[in-house]
Structure 1
Amino acid sequence: MNGERNARFAAQAPHWPRRAQPPAGAPNVLVILFDDVGFSDFGCYGSTISTPNIDRLAASGLRFSGFHTTAMCSTTRAALLTGRNHHSVGVGCLANFDSGFPGYRGKICREAGTLAEMLRPHGYSTYMVGKWHVVPVDETGPRGPVDGWPLGRGFDRFYGFMDAETDQYAPELVLDNTPIPSPGSYESGYHLTADLADQAIRYLADHVAAEPDAPFLMWLAPGACHAPHQAPRNLIMHYDRHFEHGWDEERDARLARQKTMGLVPDNAAVPPLNDFVQPWAAHGEDERRLFRRLQGAYAAMLDHADHHIGRVLDFLQTADLAENTLVIVMSDNGASQEGLAQGFVNAMGPYNMRPELMAEKIERIDDIGGPDTHSNFPFGWAMNANTPLKRYKQNTHGGGIRDPLVMSWPKGIAARGEIRHQFAHAVDLVPTLLDLIGVTAPDVINGVAQMPLEGESFAKAIAAPDAPSRSSPQYFEMFGHRGIVHEGWKAVAFHPPGTAFESDRWELYHLDEDFSEIHDLSDEMPEKLDELVSLWWDEAEKHQVLPLDDRFGPRFAENAARRLGDRRVFTFHKGMGHLPTDVTPDLRSRSYRIDAHVSLKGGDEGVLVAHGDATCGYSFYLKDSALHHDINVGQHQIVSAQLNDLAAGAHVLSYRAIRQESGPMQGVLLVDDKEVARADIVFGFVNFISWSGLDIGHDRSSPVSLYPAPFRFTGELAKIVVTIEDDQTDHAEGAAQVVLARE
């Protein structure tokens, strides 16, 4: 009987399901997405900042002069990844908040598949390295959900950070779906950009070892050049005198080089100085020296990133992958205005209403770019970075949305060093790549019916310099700033926050004749303006842009309150891992209490709980037989109490922050509920605690207070209990005033 069964099954033919096969000759795709880099900052776009590796890609391929983004990072990434407009997919603004409307959820909807999800069924391996920032940051904690993380959106591997920015020496890192410690420190020579390049090379080398003939998609998104501007000191000093002539002369020189290159028309001119920017000569010598150094840190960060991108490109050559790899280099928006008029050495103090006076900036000038700085350059250098365009990131004038785009594919792009002037937009990248690869967007992904792609392929423009630009209009909106481009014309409105949208003045430019948006034709051609403004409203309704919302700080406050709900007690037990900052207790502008349940044996020291890093945060710790609590907002405010007579055994060590209606906050230390020290805390957390998260029993790699990290607690820590009170004051307006750089 058993023999008959075996014979019956043996007669069947074995079968192996056919593995997904890419189209013949399908290229590898390497997308390199910079952060906050202006239109003119690459060498091949007119700058004297050293970017030889990006420049060699341009020489072997194409540059676009008419590529546009969305004015912010989360939003551009959503459009680039999906081929749909950012409001359409639910990322109308930053991933850091959810406004409760379909266009503003802060998370890419399932109906909008990502490029990785589209290519993986065609045999592509997919790798994500660097900044993600298209999932609500309150979903980046230990309970997720992780469905919006890179591995949940089609990538096979992920190594990078989830939020808008991170410290380059002590980054908040995730490997696949798990937070990991920082691999090094400033003292050890670690820098995140180098680490990301190492990991990109690792993924590519593993790919070649496993299946060299399979194509790959790699999305490499370094933190450069988003603040904090951190780079090796020798490189910062290399650029210290490089820009001593100032931003006025530098803008003129960049425009002249752009004209020589053929990037901009001969009639292009630099616009008048942006609002609140003074001529270089109007600043004193100390100011000019500071501004040069801050620009030097930015330039060094870009130079440094280019060097490590070169290592990745060199590996492609070594592994015989370069010929059939389509490499794309771009920025997510224009250069940032968040350094304000004078720039910052450590912006975290001003974000919490602690002024950073010019004298302090000058005193700390040699710290710029180092581990205890959160540096950002002033308006003038951001304006220069966007040469020859108006305004900045966040704005819908050219400085916010017209960005560099370099493409090189030796096997597939015949052009060598050519320029394309057609209008294109971030939303057009996915249709273009699908076109070049030879696949179509799926109707269904993981059982979810997909919305149509909203971008248009510009593959024909890659092949032919005289190919037409896309035919459909492209709208823009960010924080109430609005714009629309159609058939060579642009209508744009700058929106002062807090004012009525109906009061905004729309401007009209003929982009085909006016690259820099200087000649406003709204009074001369009111019918054309009305046509475009009406078209904007149609597009806005179609793509979930409405209702308009110009609030900045209040949306962050709402998100924090919604996440918190009725919860007032947070318990962190021994063995807990790292908590990202957006899932930690909200201690801003309120009273609270921290209780550390410990067992001491005598002579114990170390961190009980720490949230933040050397630029900003708080730490509760034992050192030199004393209990300390430090609120660091660019200034250490330490309350201390000696514990020489404290007996060994179990104790509760506590810190209370007591907010008062008038006068400074009170910081109180307690041992077993008995007060042992009290001090005034002049500067508390008003808007932001830190980009770095929270740990118990140690401080990760960038110490909040005056001790060497990780300064592990040598006693027994059972748990930390944080209790917050309901007396929080409104910090939202302050956040709006300082233009908090969480994007």
Structure 2
Amino acid sequence: MNDQDKKIRTHLPMRNVARQRHITYDARDPDTSFPPIELLRPPKGAPNVLVILIDDAGFGSSSAFGGPCQTPTAEKLAASGLKMNRFHTTALCSPTRQALLTGRNHHSAGMGGITEIATGAPGYCSILPNSMSPLARTLKLNGYSTAQFGKCHEVPVWETSAVGPFDAWPTGGGGFEYFYGFIGGEANQWYPALFEGTNPVDPEKTPEEGYHLMEDMTDKAINWVNQQKSLANDKPFFIYFAPGATHAPHHVPKEWADKYKGKFDGGWDKLREETIARQKKLGVIPADTELTARHAEIPGWDETPEEFKPTLRREMEVYAGFMEYTDYHVGRLVENLERLGILEDTLIYYIIGDNGASAEGGINGCFNEMSYFNGLQAYETPEYLNERLEHLGGPESYNHYAVGWAHAMNTPFQWTKQVASHFGGTRNGTIVHWPKGIKAKGEIRSQFSHVIDVAPTILEAAGLPEPVEVYGVPQDPIEGTSMMYAFDDSAAPERHETQYFEMFGNRGIYHKGWTAVTKHLTPWTAMQAKPVPLDDDVWELYDTTKDWSQSRNLAKEMPEKLHELQRLWMIEATRYKVLPIDDRMAEKMNPDTAGRPVLIKGKSQVLFKGMGRLSENTVLNIKNKSHSVTAEIDVPENGAEGVIISQGADIGGWSLYAKDGKLKYCYNWGGLKRFYIEASKPIPAGRHQVRMEFAYDGGGLGKGGMATLYQNGEKVGEGRVDATLAIIYSADDGCDVGKDTGAPVSEDYGPRNNAFNGEIRGVQLAIAEDAEDLDHLIRPEDAIAMMMARQ
């Protein structure tokens, strides 16, 4: 802590007004004395801080670490900063982010998985203990300006609606004064579901007009910095810049993907060999590092059917263009700091991946990532994919690349995202840049480090103590280790000597150069395959002081050493709330069996005009069951037009709307096919009740059914929906009343100017007995009464 700073910063917030000791009657009295009002500021010399966190990017992806994706901004920062080549994450997004922003291990901070699979277990509940003040809040209470841009995937799913609470939102309890981004795991880069603070906002342009989220959020970040430095130049900032890039969908302007045409024609096996050669030449891995073997679950390029290869090649071209495009916009932000003259005194962390590259696209990749989650990838045949080849990465797609490419992006390591046991899931190239605080330039640091080390490093750099108490709540100690000891000393003994890893039962332990690991689940088969019992998992042992890539398993040669590390894993797991290990998948998707709250209770829900951006966790679940959608509307004299209610996007969902005066229903089956049902006559002017009843076939998940339309109880149309989506419509595009924001569900209207032209007085969603009505009419007062009765 700065010796010149006498403030007591261990108990936050600090007292802001001192008690007056001597009181005079007249302000002109010579004895009248008041201390001047003091602005809240951190200790003198505290730097600006910029943390950049790229999404789903492996160690072998960026050119700064030998990968094929050109990242000149990363290279430029590394040339005048440091490369950390033994920096680790948790193998999954929400856990890494919670750990980064708190300095605590992900289970300690309640985030053992993503928020959508939270359970009642303390290590997996997705609730941040109030004894762990987020870094941004600690910095804000010490006088920093704080802002977050991009992805926030740490909000418990039952708290993602407009009713909050907003304790886990960036501008709520997260400590950020400004937020512009999305709440959830991923975003459509062309049609993102955005929030400013806690208010939903729509992009000002369409893709056709040049919109892309990466450019938009960078513009917002640049404008925020400019304003902050214009109005409070003496106040340092903390910016958390967390693009949804390069997470799927891999969306990028075509010209950026085209820069890589033909560069991946040799396939992923050849790419791994090329990458490790570059890594050795750069010195980011030791010269004797071995390329790990490709596992049998990952197909070789030569054994991949030729008919898939045109699409497979383009998938990687699109991804590489996406990463370069992302780095370009990071560069715009960095250049703005340089233009303002503050780059030298800005501590930058450029973390290239919140986990290893993602294999969630499956064996062949996909045009629509939701096909993977809904079990529909078999329908994405070579013919289907090749027909859409030129649309990969564009607004029509929601694409992801194949497992083989993900494996190559994690060169030289084994496995991928989700596999926390091996470095392919957890090691991410990281660059630290702070010219005023780091003397070394263009050097590599190989001390073991972890994402929990970022927060204590920033506090030390700012001269700030770890808070002991925040808002009256005693704080748990930070579990990370500051990395500053190694910034100017490449030979400094590493201080982070022990680190456990766990995700979905994939487990590992690092201790003083040794790792013991066991892979429990394979990401692209986890939803279908029944896992082996935990006690039957086979453990491996690696000496990473001699075997940098975990390529030579020593378990049979050194069983005692393996046992020692297995025992240490159990100790650490007990210490950090990892137990009980939870590899369940279906049970965690279901709130009833997972033990987490649900926002919507009962069998019906009433929605009102203006409600929108509602995630699937905040809307009555009508999947895989019979249901009804009923709306009371006022139709203008010139006839009905526009969306009454919609849920989902062009990649899957449904919409009830008016077209050319007639009621119409569209069911979008994963972008593969759209089923339309249209009324036989127009809706007259005036007040009316319109209704869609869906009679589900039953017999399992994702089955079809009959959709019937009614006007004022009179049947006006019916049609068959051959199949439905069993699990999810969209990861980010929600439910809207009165319009369809984002990518449109139906081809009958576009992304703009699709709002209903009349008045919507209410919409009821209902299932089971609440959906049954013999005369196909509901009284609005009855719907409201049912809603209020559940309070």
TM-score range, shorter chain: over 0.9
Verify: 1:347 aligned to 2:369, yes or no. yes
2:426 to 397, 401, 404: 401
1:379 to 403, 417, 434: 403
Is the contact made by 1:483 and 1:493 (CA closer than 8 Å) also made in structure 2? yes
Match among 76, 82, 85 for residue 56 of structure 1: 76
Q: Would you say 1:528 and 2:561 are equivalent positions? A: yes
Distance 1:527 1:646 in 2: 78
The offset of 1:294, in angstroms, is: 0.7
The corresponding residue for 1:488 is: 513
Q: Aligned-pair RMSD on alpha carbons?
A: 1.9
After superposition, the Cα gap between the structure-2 partners of 1:625 and 1:275, relative to the gap in structure 1 and judged at 3 Å, is farther
Partner of 2:606: 571
Tell me how far 1:339 sits from its aligned partner. Answer: 0.7
SS of residue paired to 2:124: coil
How far apart are 1:336 and its partner, in Å? 0.3
Indicate conservation of the 8 Å contact 1:639/1:668, yes or no: no
Match of 1:608 in 2: 644
> Structure 1 residue aligned with 2:114, among 94, 102, 112?
94
| 1:577 Cα deviation after fit | 4.2
2:780 equivalent in structure 1: none
In structure 1, runs of 5+ residues without a counterpart are: 729-743
Deviations 1:634-666 (A, max 9, x none): 134323224435433222111112222347322
The one-letter code matched in structure 2 to 1:358 is P
Q: Structure 1 444/599 Cα, relative in aligned 2: closer, same or farther at 3 Å?
A: same
1:299 equivalent in structure 2 = 320
Distance apart, 1:726 and its partner CA: 7.7
Paired with 2:613 and 2:481, the residues of 1 have a C-alpha distance of: 42
What is the aligned counterpart of 2:631 among 596, 605, 609?
596
Identity %: 37
CA distance 1:176–1:687, change in 2 (3 Å): same
Q: Which deviations, in whole Å up to 9, do the C-alpha atoms of 1:213-254 show, x marking residues without a partner?
A: 211111000011100000001112222312111111111111
Which runs of 4 or more aligned residues in structure 1 lie more than 6 Å from their structure 2 counterparts after TM superposition?
none
- Correspondence for 2:247 among 219, 226, 230: 226
Confirm whether residue 126 of structure 1 aligns to residue 126 of structure 2: no
Contact 1:350 1:356 in 2 (8 A): no
The CA distance in 2 between the partners of 1:73 and 1:624, in whole Å, is: 45
Aligned twin of 2:186:
165
| Structure 2 residue corresponding to 1:629, chosen from 665, 668, 671 | 665
Comparing 199-208 and 95-104, the one that deviates more: 95-104
1:584 corresponds in structure 2 to 619
- SS of the aligned residue for 2:248 comes to coil
The 1:566–1:438 alpha-carbon spacing in structure 2 relative to 1, beyond 3 Å, is: closer
Q: TM-score, normalised by structure 1?
A: 0.94
**Which residue number in structure 1 is paired with residue 735 of structure 2?**
694
Deviation at 1:543, TM superposition (A): 0.5
Conserved 8 A contact 2:704-2:722: yes
Compute the displacement of 1:350 (Å): 4.0
Match of 1:419 among 424, 435, 444: 444
Do residues 334 (structure 1) and 370 (structure 2) align?
no
Is the CA contact (8 Å cut-off) linking 2:663 and 2:682 kept in structure 1?
no
8 Å contact kept, 1:639–1:669: no
In structure 2, distance between residues paired with 1:656 and 1:678: 9
**Displacement, 1:271?**
1.4
Which blocks of at least 5 consecutive residues in structure 2 are unaligned?
1-22, 522-529, 772-791
Does residue 39 of structure 1 match 2:79? Answer: no
1:314 aligns with 2:355: no
CA contact (8 A) 2:145 2:177 kept: yes
Alignment partner of 2:104 out of 70, 73, 84: 84
Say which is worse superposed, 356-365 or 304-313, in terms of deviation: 356-365
Residue 8 to residue 727, structure 1, CA distance change in 2 (3 Å)? closer
Q: Aligned with 1:205: secondary structure?
A: helix
Counterparts in 2 of 1:132 and 1:629: CA distance versus 1, 3 Å: same
Amino acid at match of 1:301: F
Q: In the alignment, is the contact (CA less than 8 A) between 2:516 and 2:566 conserved in 1?
A: yes
**Alignment partners' CA distance in 2, 1:279 and 1:553:** 30
**Paired residues of 2:111 and 2:123 also in contact (CA < 8 A):** yes
Which sits farther off after the overlay, 568-577 or 300-309?
568-577
The one-letter amino acid paired with 1:697 is G
By how many angstroms is 1:678 displaced? 2.4
- Distance in 1 separating the partners of 2:565 and 2:103: 23
Residue correspondence of structure 1 range 84-483 to structure 2 within 5 A: 84-151=104-171, 152-330=173-351, 331-354=353-376, 355-396=379-420, 397-483=422-508
Q: Is the CA contact 2:640–2:662 (under 8 Å) kept in the aligned structure 1?
A: no
1-structure distance, mates of 2:290, 2:267: 18
* Residue 3 (structure 2) aligns with: none
Q: Is the 8 A contact 2:692 2:709 kept in 1?
A: yes
Residues in 2 aligned to 1:672 and 1:250: alpha-carbon distance in whole angstroms: 63
- Further displaced range: 355-364 or 536-545: 355-364
- Cα separation, 1, equivalents of 2:28 and 2:690: 73
Match of 2:526 in 1: none
> Distance in 1 between the 2:68 and 2:174 partners?
38
Q: Does 1:651 align with 2:670?
A: no
Q: Which range moved further: 89-98 or 217-226?
A: 89-98
Q: Deviations over 1:178-235 (max 9, x none)?
A: 1212332211110001111101101100111111121111100001110000000111
Letter aligned with residue 765 of structure 2: V
1:675, distance to aligned residue in structure 2 (A): 2.5
Distance across 2 between alignment mates of 1:579 and 1:664: 25
Deviation at 1:15, TM superposition (A): 4.2
CA contact (8 A) 1:137 1:162 kept: no
Task: Give the secondary structure class of the aligned counterpart of 2:486.
Answer: helix
Alignment partner, residue 731 of structure 1: none
Amino acid at match of 1:162: I
Match of 1:661? 698
Q: Which moved more, 1:428-437 or 1:80-89?
A: 428-437
Residue correspondences, number: 724
Q: Please give the per-residue CA displacement for 1:684-740, whole angstroms capped at 9, x wherever unaligned.
A: 121102121111111113211111223111222211111122899xxxxxxxxxxxx
